[in-house]
Amino acid sequence: MPIQHLSIVGTGLIGGSIALAVKQYISNCQISAYDSDPSAIEAALRLKAIDRSVPLAQIGAGADLTILCTPVGQFERVLREIAPTLSAGTILTDVGSTKRSITKLAAELLPPGVEFIASHPMAGSEKRGMDAAHADLFQRAVCMIMPKPTTPEVAAGLVEAFWTKLGMHVRRLLPEQHDQIVARISHLPQVMAMALTAIQSEETLAYAGKGFKDTTRIAGSSAPLWLDILKDNREEVLSALSLLREELDGFERHLIAGDEPALLQWLSTAAEKRRNVGLQT
Amino acid sequence: MPIQHLSIVGTGLIGGSIALAVKQYISNCQISAYDSDPSAIEAALRLKAIDRSVPLAQIGAGADLTILCTPVGQFERVLREIAPTLSAGTILTDVGSTKRSITKLAAELLPPGVEFIASHPMAGSEKRGMDAAHADLFQRAVCMIMPKPTTPEVAAGLVEAFWTKLGMHVRRLLPEQHDQIVARISHLPQVMAMALTAIQSEETLAYAGKGFKDTTRIAGSSAPLWLDILKDNREEVLSALSLLREELDGFERHLIAGDEPALLQWLSTAAEKRRNVGLQT
């Protein structure tokens, strides 16, 4: 079942990149879109990323798949507004960085017969907006999707096929697993990149090399967007932060004691683990 | 005074890249080199990065400038071996990541008339060896040099001009300032990248996106090399780690309290600071 009509809520970096990718990699698919910022929609129309602009209340009409690409903090408001307009048989997904709360909201708010299948494409940028969007943002990246035990396979399969066509490696898992995993592999690195930046002074920043710049690149991301994510995934982020503190305690203990074999072991284990990242995909 | 004869101890990533950069950007400069690993010297000769291989005991003979490019932990042994062979008028520099100890060693071991001016080109890679070396490694990066109050300006000027020709922005400072600055802008990010990697499991690593990969890229660096650096700069690294803990404590407090204005302030300050990095150079 090919997707012939896609709807996108929010034509920022991710929504805009999805539109461009669909135009490049999926043939005969019409795209309707809504953004609360008229200039974002104008940019998407000008770049021929979308076919038409529609009001939020009509976003799901006739769409095989509707994708929520707004910041996590706006999900509840948007869901409440569009839920009554969605008809049975429609599939809804999202691209947010946290899953427990949206899954709960969707179960509460959506009418029967509307399938919500959460998605999290692990692709992005510290940049924002349609102007930073590009069709290959998703190539070779991982996308997590979270069908429920009751989700019909035809719906889960449609969402899986959609991300696969955009170049992604799709993996299925539970919302709770998702939130725990991303707290460690994504949310904590974000907090660390910001903390590492925060302790710098004008003097130290004058000596920033490629190492520092890469390590903290994501710190330049949108603060309001991250506020939403970190609040929503608070417990898991705090627990990932505890793990990191234990790791740092160990390192500090070895360094204070001048315990060379233990220090070397600590450094080697991490270096070896990092060198193996991505080798399996 | 152009450099006509350069000597390099250690043709790994940095020494090899210096040789390639000199061949590309400085005309009529002969390069002699030594490496304890015969295959590293063979690779440098094969790539025409150096003109001749010489024994360590002859490394300074006839050189306008000799550069130590061995790991920090080997400086003492190498300095003891070459010190007696250096003649007055020779200039010696290095590329190490810590400066207090080598500056002290050089003052103790070098014969009168041999000028030691510590250098730290802020360029590198998680990769190692001559095969990863390239002529443009130093372009647009910062190089710190540390002439003493007693260093003749002609010698400091020669070292400054040398790195400038390789494409670097040279800044002069004191060894103590250097060690404090790099603990924060380079050594702590290294430890953090390794700690962030260490807390991952096979399950979480399966979802590593570009953000995680960039944030931890440097974690794949050589563990023995970093053991030397962190041991040598222990006090400053511990103090930078304390700063980071305070920063994380603040973040954690705000998140536990659900204090949105404080959290947003914390996130925005870091994001804004990161976006301004590199804009001034």
H or E element in which residue B146 lies: strand B142-146
Within 10 angstroms of residue A166's Cβ, the number of other Cβ atoms is 24
Cα–Cα distance measured from residue A235 to residue B14, given in angstroms and rounded to the nearest whole number:
44
Q: Do B243 and A199 touch (CB under 8 A)?
A: yes
Pairwise CB contact (< 8 Å): A144 & B207: yes
pLDDT per residue rounded down to tens, chain A (281 residues): 679 999 999 999 999 999 999 999 999 999 999 999 999 999 999 999 999 999 999 998 889 999 999 998 899 999 999 998 888 889 999 999 999 889 999 999 999 999 999 999 998 877 888 989 999 999 999 999 999 999 999 999 999 999 999 999 999 999 889 999 999 999 999 999 999 999 999 999 999 988 999 999 999 999 999 999 999 999 999 999 999 999 999 999 999 999 999 999 999 999 999 999 976 44
Instruction: Provide the residue type at A42 as one letter.
Output: E
Task: Give all domains of chain A, ordered by start, each with its CATH number.
Answer: 5-173 (3.40.50.720), 178-275 (1.10.3660.10)
Nearest to B165 by CA among B269, B8, B25, B3: B25
Is the pLDDT confidence value at B281 over 90? no
**Chain B interface mutation, best of A127, A144, A182, A196, highest count of B Cβ atoms under 10 Å:** A196
B249 in contact with chain A, both atoms CB, cutoff 8 A: no
Q: Which residues contact B199 (CB under 8 A, 6 or more apart)?
A: A184, A188, A240, A243, A244, A247
Residue owning tokens 């999290």 = A120
CB atoms within 10 A of CB B132: 15
- Measuring CA to CA, which residue among A111, A130, A117 is closest to residue A48? A130
Over residues B237-276, the pLDDT tens digits come to 999 999 999 999 999 999 999 999 999 999 999 999 999 9
What residue in A sits closest to B250 (Cα-Cα)? A195
Query: Which residues of chain A lie closer than 8 angstroms to B226, CB-CB?
Result: 267, 271
pLDDT-derived band at B280 (thresholds 50, 70, 90) equals: very low
pLDDT band at B1 (very low <50, low <70, confident <90, very high): low
Cα(B223)–Cα(A268) distance, integer angstroms: 5
Nearest-CA distance from B254 to chain A in Å?
10
3-state SS, residue A221: coil
Q: Is A174 on the interface with B (CB under 8 A)?
A: no
Q: How many helices (H) and strands (E) does chain A have?
A: 12, 9
Q: Return the DSSP state at A85.
A: G
Cβ count near B201 (within 10 Å): 11
Q: Provide the token pair at B227.
A: 């053991």
If you average pLDDT over residues B194-213, what whole number do you get?
95
Phi–psi pair at A117, nearest 5 degrees: -125, 105
Alpha-carbon distance of B73 to B229, in angstroms, equals: 8
Q: State the pLDDT at residue B238.
A: 98
List, in sequence order, every residue forming a beta bridge with A275; answer none if it has no partner: none
Asked if the Cβ–Cβ distance from B215 to A211 is below 8 Å, we say no
Q: Is the pLDDT of residue B184 over 90?
A: yes
Chain A positions touching B223 (Cβ under 8 A) are 264, 267-268, 270-271
pLDDT beyond 90 at B125: no
Quote the DSSP letter at residue B129: S
Which DSSP string do the residues of A3-55 spell out, in sequence order?
--EEEEE--SHHHHHHHHHHHHHSTT-EEEEE-SSHHHHHHHHHTTS-SEE--
Name the residue among B185, B135, B268, B64 with its Cα closest to residue A215. Answer: B185
What pLDDT score does A96 carry? Answer: 93
Beta sheet of B169-172, edge-to-edge order: B118-121, B142-146, B169-172
Residue ranges of A 11-40 with Cβ closer than 8 A to chain B: none
**Token duo for residue B167:** 């494409």
93-152 in chain A: CB under 8 A from chain B: 122-124, 141-142, 144
Out of A196, A206, A273, closest to residue B197 by CB: A273
Residue B68 phi, psi dihedral angles, 5° rounding: -85, 115
Q: How far are the Cα atoms of A93, B121, B173 from residue B144, in angstroms, in the given order?
A: 51, 6, 7
Instruction: Please compute the mean of the pLDDT values over residues B122-128 and round it to a whole number.
Output: 84
Confidence of residue B85 (pLDDT cuts 50, 70, 90): confident
Burial grade of B186 (CB within 10 A; 0-12, 13-18, 19 or more): buried
